Amino acid sequence: MGALNSAGEIIVMNQKGCQLLNVTEEQAVGKNWFDCYLPRNISREIKNVFNQLMAGETEPVEYYENPVVTSDGKERIIAFHNTLLTDEKGIKGILFSGLDITERKKAEEEKAKMEAQLRQAQKMEAIGTLAGGIAHDFNNILGAIIGYSEMAIEALPPDSTVTRNLGEVLKAGFRAKDLVTQILAFSRQANIDPIYLRPASIIKEGVKLLRSSIPTTIDIHEDIDAKTGVILAAPTQIHQILMNLCTNAFHAMEEHGGTLLISLHEIELDPENSDIPPGAAGGTFARLTVHDSGTGIDPMIKNSIFDPYFTTKEAGKGTGMGLAIVHGIVKTCGGFIVCESVLGRGTTFKVFLPVVTQHGPDEVKILDCIPTGKERILFVDDEALIADMAKEILEKLGYTVTVRKSGPAALETFQNQPGKFDLVITDQTMPGMTGVELSRRMLQIRPDIPIILCTGYSSTASESAAKSLGVKEFVFKPISIRHMARLIRKVLETSS
């Protein structure tokens, strides 16, 4: 490839070396190799090693890999072989040959990256499977909490302390339900239907949760404008954005403590505004800001922080999916996210979500009334708590309810008197016979029987598969009284 004199100047460069560096031999000869053709971040160190080699203070290394810089500014990785040039007076320079291994190194790095991503994907699949396995039982517990709370609230004076306390229990139950939905949506990569909402109340509730989970060495300051406009998103998505950003902020301050600032304001952005990344439009946005006074982000990795599986956290502390999920949610909502960080001085994430002109309700309003009926319902669930609660609720709504706590028992009852029931409501995951199989068998006996299939989670049943059998509705548990009451009327009225 070429040779250097003892000063590090090029004395000869062959054709392959010239092609690699994108120069002619005349352009290369006389140039200092270390100053002109090595990256600045390593040139001084390698030049010092070369000088020690020329002085006889160190032994030559026969093989090593180093990047070089071509005349057009590109870096190539070269595998070098060195031979000392000597005469009777000592070392005169060095003869070196090199092989361009850039593509091979890229392929090796890509392979290692893909293997790491595969391992991480397998881990996330296992987490999703575990989440699905426990979700059914957990949703049954939540169903009982939500159902009995709603019944108790209906039976109490609206202005009593007990009613208010039970209202908080009910709110917590629905939040737990949303979190399970969030976990399952991630594990199934399912879509979550967006709604029109004001993000302030969700952010405030998230901050309350953070206060109980973040150590006192970290001060939390909030500046949340309740008048921030309506956006189109799923509540669990907003909660997930906040939790992921604040978890990262907490880890950045975990060792020495610090300050976490969470703010939400509505702002107008001009397309020329420096906050807007290239290609993004201006307009009215809800801006969620999460700032920490932690360690900051290394500029070298800043462009990689939203990549799936990228993490700087030690094993067991991060999946590398948090910011990737946040970025995906924000993009889905039509917004964008900006990161500002200085090493040693903290990090600020700004999430911009477009404010929509079609306004939803300022508050989540309780429905004026719960629809009732007089039809006959066969309710099937292997959880005694859920079955007994459903019977009590549905009978209070005016229905005649028959409860069965297994698929075979329900099928036997239905076979004996198929005309006795106007509607079947069945759980999906039950020992002995699944809800899908029970529905199939019942529809063979009586094709016009309306069926509602309820599930906490199922890896085998899907809405399309259930409905292809003739099932009228497919819903995820836990289900509120009002939702179930309205769903029953919808199914019965469309089936009549």
Does residue 431 lie within any of the structural domains? yes
Question: Is a pLDDT exceeding 50 seen at residue 133?
Answer: yes
Q: Among 54, 84, 100, give the residue marking a domain's end.
A: 100
Residue 315 pLDDT level (bands cut at 50, 70, 90) = very low
**Is 87 within a domain?**
yes
When divided into structural domains, the chain yields a total of 3
Q: Output the pLDDT for position 301.
A: 67
Q: What does 305-366 look like in DSSP terms, one character per residue? A: TTSTT---SPTTS--S-HHHHHHHHHHHTT-EEEEEEETTTEEEEEEEEEBPSS---SS-PP
Residue 459 has pLDDT above 50, yes or no: no
Sheet holding 423-427, edge to edge: 400-404, 376-380, 423-427, 451-455, 473-476
Residue 320's beta-bridge partner residues?
A: none
Residues 6+ apart with CB under 8 A from 135: 180, 183, 184, 456, 457
Candidate from 82-96, 161-175, 264-278 with smallest mean pLDDT? 264-278
Q: What is the mean pLDDT of residues 235-261?
A: 86
Q: Is the domain of 477 the same as that of 345?
A: no
Residue 147 lies in a domain: no
139 lies in a domain?
no
Task: Give the list of residues 6+ apart from residue 26 with CB closer than 8 angstroms, or none.
Answer: none
Q: What is the pLDDT of residue 386?
A: 82
| 313 and 341 together in one domain | yes
**Do 325 and 451 share a domain, yes or no?**
no
97 exposed, middle or buried (CB, 10 Å; 0-12, 13-18, 19+)?
middle
The CATH number of the domain where 6 resides is what? 3.30.450.20
Q: 383 and 348 in contact (C-beta within 8 Å)?
A: no
**Residue 208 shares a structural domain with residue 355:** yes
pLDDT of residue 319: 45
More confident residue, 217 or 189: 217
- Is residue 32 assigned to a domain? yes
Residues 243 and 352 grouped into a single domain? yes
Q: Measured between alpha carbons, how far is 40 from 38 in angstroms, rounded to an integer?
A: 6
pLDDT, tens digit (0-9, with 9 covering 90-100), for 206-235: 887 787 778 888 899 999 998 898 898 877
Residue 71 has pLDDT above 70, yes or no: yes
End position of a domain, from candidates 52, 83, 100: 100
Q: Say yes or no: 314 and 458 in one domain.
A: no
Extract the runs of DSSP E, i.e. beta strands, from 248-313.
258-269, 283-292
Q: What is the mean pLDDT of residues 47-59?
A: 87
Q: Please give the residue that has the higher pLDDT: either 438 or 197.
A: 438
- What is the per-residue pLDDT for 364? 36
Classified as helix, coil or strand, 12 is strand
Q: Is residue 266 part of a domain?
A: yes
Provide the whole-model pTM: 0.42
> Within this chain, do residues 42 and 68 fall inside the same structural domain, yes or no?
yes
Which pair of tokens denotes residue 447? 């094709």
- Residue 321 clears pLDDT 80, i.e. is over it: no
At 447, which CATH number?
3.40.50.2300
- Give the pLDDT confidence score for residue 425 in this predicted structure: 96
| Last residue in a domain, options 313, 331, 359 | 359
Residue 406: per-residue pLDDT: 93
Q: Are residues 203 and 333 in the same domain?
A: yes
For residue 223, list its beta bridge partners. 263
| Alpha-carbon span 302 to 328, nearest angstrom | 17
What range does the domain containing 282 cover? 199-359
- The fraction of the chain above a pLDDT of 70, given in percent, is 81
Same domain, 216 and 266: yes
Say yes or no to pLDDT of 446 above 70. Answer: yes
pLDDT class for 271, splitting at 50, 70, 90?
Answer: low
pLDDT over 60 (residue 403): yes
Same domain for 341 and 236: yes
Residues 234 and 265 in one domain: yes
CATH number, position 252:
3.30.565.10
Shared-domain flag, residues 209 and 259: yes
Backbone angles phi, psi at 348, to 5 degrees: -125, 125
